[in-house]
Amino acid sequence: MLDATHDPARRSWVESANGHSDFPIQNLPLGLFTPPGGHAPRAGVAIGDAILELEDAPPDGTLNAWLAAGEAPRRALRERLSAELTIGASTRARLHPAADCRMHVPARIGDYTDFYVGIHHATAVGKLFRPDNPLLPNYKHVPIGYHGRASSIIPSGTDFRRPRGQMARNGGPVFGPCEKLDYELELGIWIGPGNEQGAPIPLAEAARHIAGFCLLNDWSARDIQAWEYQPLGPFLGKSFATSISPWIITPEALVPFRIAAPPRPEGDPAPLPYLTDATDQAEGGFDIALEAWLVTPGLTAQGLPPHRIADSNARHMYWTVAQMVAHHSSNGCNLNPGDLFGSGTISGPERDGYASLLEATQGGTQPLRLASGEERRFLEDGDEVILRAQARREGFVTIGFGECRGRVIG
Ligand code: CA
């Protein structure tokens, strides 16, 4: 539902919010931050290049209670913040320069589940292994996912160590540093109120349980993954680190950028009734531009800009976020406030949209060539990947997600 908070004419007294910022007054994402010299994390809203500290301290140092509260309080806070930040409002704000603050993972994440709804990714990866039959037969019937690891989720800007693990080399198992480290460009979905165990969330009610969105980089050790994944799926090839952008972009902020779920190609099966809802098909998709950029030691040393490695869009999701929620809870599994979903890698259909190096380099056989003279098949020590997202629509102010950065160190 569109309201005055989406009005493109609305401007903020925080001047930096009125230019080309990811965080204009129409966005208003919440996050957890520590200002310089601060100790306990505080709740704040991003506005331009600043953070407005909220008056109420988060009760347990996290935003879980806010996620649990659901749509009505979230909408009320948005309206209040929009009014307070509008030009002409008289407020004595506690404003902090964002560049001086440290951002945190905004909630205590009880469970993290990674889906696989990017059909172009699933097809491209499938082709590497099964050229004639890239998609497995269940793909178009069931939103595929696996249970990820919550403890190793880190906020943007946090370095992580190259994983070591067991992999097959020259036919035999070895243990050592991963040599095929990859990234995956994904949307993250924050779960709101959730459900009691044994009481599935019907698809028509699923939207009420989605409290926000972020960017998510599902770092992947392809060599460890390839050796371990059969028959139970990803394990140590994924669980060493997952990076997220720290700001929770609300469903309300994204209202102008909702689109119909992409139509299923002719001949695709209709989903089962519990995954079918006319409203969700009509407005369950998102038009959000998604990009990944690579920064290498060579580019940095030569003063060269980051190299864009993926240009995609959230519209390339085969299943909607509501279908993910309905499916995840359909067996009676309880979802809790602060649970996090990953969408799965969202690749576009063409080469420039391939949102992992596995796809972009065809399994490492076709290296990327960078302006620095470097080549990349997979990530090397010192490489940093930056994910960005922007939602744009004629007649509305563009909003962004902020960055999701992560750098691998040896
Ligand atoms: Ca993934």
What secondary structure does DSSP assign to 267-299, as a single string?
TPPPPPGGG--HHHHHH-EE--EEEEEEE-HHH
Q: Report whether 320 contacts 343 (CB < 8 A).
A: no
Where does the pLDDT of residue 82 fall: very low under 50, low under 70, confident under 90, or very high at 90 and above? Answer: very high
pLDDT, residue 59, reads 83
pLDDT, residue 88, reads 85
The Å distance, Cα 5 to ligand 1 centre, comes to: 34
Residue with tokens 């470097």: 374
Residue 357's closest CA among 164, 121, 145, 178? 121
Kindly report which listed range (85-89, 196-200, 319-323, 376-380) carries the lowest average pLDDT score. 85-89
- The domain spans of the chain are 4-103, 112-409
**How many CA atoms within 13 Å lie on the side-chain side of 29?**
31
**How many CA atoms within 13 Å lie on the side-chain side of 273?**
0
* Residue 207 amino acid letter: A
The Å distance, Cα 347 to ligand 1 centre, comes to: 11
pLDDT, residue 171, reads 81
pLDDT, residue 197, reads 98
Query: What is the distance between the alpha carbons of residues 292 and 357, in angstroms, rounded to a whole number?
Result: 11
pLDDT, residue 91, reads 67
The residues whose Cβ lies within 5 A of ligand 1, an ion, are: 114, 184, 218
What average pLDDT score do residues 79-105 get?
91
Percent of the chain with pLDDT strictly greater than 70: 99
Task: Fold for 4-103, please state it.
Answer: SH3 type barrels. (2.30.30)
Where does the pLDDT of residue 220 fall: very low under 50, low under 70, confident under 90, or very high at 90 and above? Answer: very high
Where does the pLDDT of residue 322 fall: very low under 50, low under 70, confident under 90, or very high at 90 and above? Answer: very high
The Å distance, Cα 344 to ligand 1 centre, comes to: 4
Q: 149-181: per-residue pLDDT in tens? A: 999 999 999 999 999 999 999 888 999 999 999
Average pLDDT, the chain: 96
Look up the pTM and report it.
0.97
Query: What is the distance between the alpha carbons of residues 298 and 308, in angstroms, rounded to a whole number?
Result: 15
Percent of the chain with pLDDT strictly greater than 90: 92
The Å distance, Cα 245 to ligand 1 centre, comes to: 16
From 3.40.50.1370, 3.30.310.50, 3.90.850.10, 1.10.760.10, which CATH number describes the 112-409 domain? 3.90.850.10
Query: What is the distance between the alpha carbons of residues 380 and 205, in angstroms, rounded to a whole number?
Result: 44
Query: Which residue numbers are catalytic?
Result: 121
Query: What is the distance between the alpha carbons of residues 101 and 108, in angstroms, rounded to a whole number?
Result: 20
Kindly report which listed range (55-69, 186-200, 283-297) carries the lowest average pLDDT score. 55-69
The Å distance, Cα 63 to ligand 1 centre, comes to: 25
